[in-house]
Amino acid sequence: MVLDHWRSFRSPNVTVLMNRLHDKLLHEYTRTPDKTGFLCNASLCVNGIYEPPICRKHKRKMPCATLIADYPESTYNMLTTEIESLRLRVNVAWVGKRLEEYVTSALARNESIIFHNWKPNTLTTLSNVVHIAFPQCEDRALQDFQDNPENAKCEFEVVWSKLKDSVPDVYDIAQKISFKQEQYEQMLDLYKRESTRDRDYSDIACTFLTQNEHLLHEFVTGDLGDKPKLYIGGIFPVSGIYKRMSGVLTG
């Protein structure tokens, strides 16, 4: 059974294995901290859980998989659009800051679970999880362009276009900064250890660079900041009182 591809989640035989709507703790975690409402209060969320039409229709006979995510403010539109456009049999439960706690507890009990988070992070570095392959934005954009050119777009993080001309030294460093997979994992392990001591991101990042000082030499080269010397052969005024002095000759 293939579980690392999005098409698998169209099959009721697969999605029934990932159904977690029976879990009382999950329903508790979907509530707001003050217990007066749910993290997801959108019209399509029922008791804090988003259910696409296909899941509502066959809810009793063929349960859908339950995807665990953090906050609907940052993922609701993306996840619901992806689920509906690909016709996936997947519900979504948002559990906020309890995401890591809930997922790691389920994995410790050897339970089947799917979750959404950014990669790399402290959850995706676990050895017993796999990445589910989804269509690349560029591939989908080509199809969207053929259907409707106005809807064809992919969003990427880029450097401010004027940075190269305005602050070339910063641009040069930004171009050279890159990390290998093991360095990302090292950063995340450091974060897991140090965040329990109430240290902020800046302090932890500083510790990482202190422990990996060789990276600074890769990002900041020796010639960065070296400026060529300019020799001024003369200054020639074109206006004001200095223009009329005897030492200034008309060219």
pLDDT 10s digits, 161-212: 677 777 777 787 777 888 887 888 888 888 878 877 778 878 888 999 899 9
Using a pLDDT cut of 90, give the percent of the chain over it.
Answer: 37
Angstrom distance (rounded) from CA 57 to CA 61: 9
Q: What is the pLDDT of residues 53-77, one digit of tens each?
A: 999 877 777 889 999 999 999 899 9
Q: What are phi and psi of 82, to 5 degrees?
A: -65, -45
The arithmetic mean of pLDDT across residues 36-52, rounded, is 93
Asked whether 63 and 19 are in contact (CB, 8 A), the reply is: yes
Residue with tokens 């519900």: 91
On whether the pTM is more than 0.75, the answer is no
Upper half-sphere CA count for residue 229 (Cβ side, 13 Å): 2
Give the CA distances from residue 242 to residues 112, 202, 239, 246, in Å, rounded to whole numbers and listed in that order. Answer: 84, 54, 7, 9
The residue among 140 and 229 whose pLDDT is bigger is: 229
Q: What is the pLDDT of residue 95?
A: 96
The residue among 48 and 195 whose pLDDT is bigger is: 48
68: amino acid identity, one letter? I
Q: What is the pLDDT of residue 185?
A: 83
What's the mean pLDDT when you consider all of the chain?
80
The arithmetic mean of pLDDT across residues 7-36, rounded, is 93
Q: Which long-range contacts (CB under 8 A, 24 or more apart) does 121-124 make?
A: 121/188, 122/188, 122/191, 122/192, 123/99
Q: What is the pLDDT of residue 142?
A: 45
Q: What is the pLDDT of residue 150?
A: 52
Q: What are phi and psi of 192, to 5 degrees?
A: -60, -40
For Cα atoms 23, 25, 26, give the angle at the middle one, nearest 5 degrees: 70
Q: How confident is the model at residue 46 (pLDDT cuts 50, 70, 90)?
A: very high
156: amino acid identity, one letter? F
Domain ranges of the chain: 6-141, 162-244
Question: How would DSSP label each residue in the chain?
Answer: ---SBGGGGG-HHHHGGG--TT-HHHHHHTB-TTSSSBS--STTEETTEE--HHHHHTTTTSPPEEEEES-HHHHHHHHHHHHHHTT--EEEEE-GGGHHHHHHHHHHTT---EE---SSSTTTTSTT--PPB---HHHHHHHHHHH-GGG---------TTHHHH-HHHHHHHHH----HHHHHHHHHHHHHHGGGT--HHHHHHHHHHHTHHHHHHHS-TTTT-------------SSGGGGSTT----
Using a 10 angstrom Cβ sphere, with 0-12 exposed, 13-18 middle and 19 or more buried, the burial of residue 209 is middle
Strands 49-50 and 65-69: unpaired
Q: What is the pLDDT of residue 145?
A: 45
Q: What is the pLDDT of residue 231?
A: 72
Angstrom distance (rounded) from CA 90 to CA 84: 9
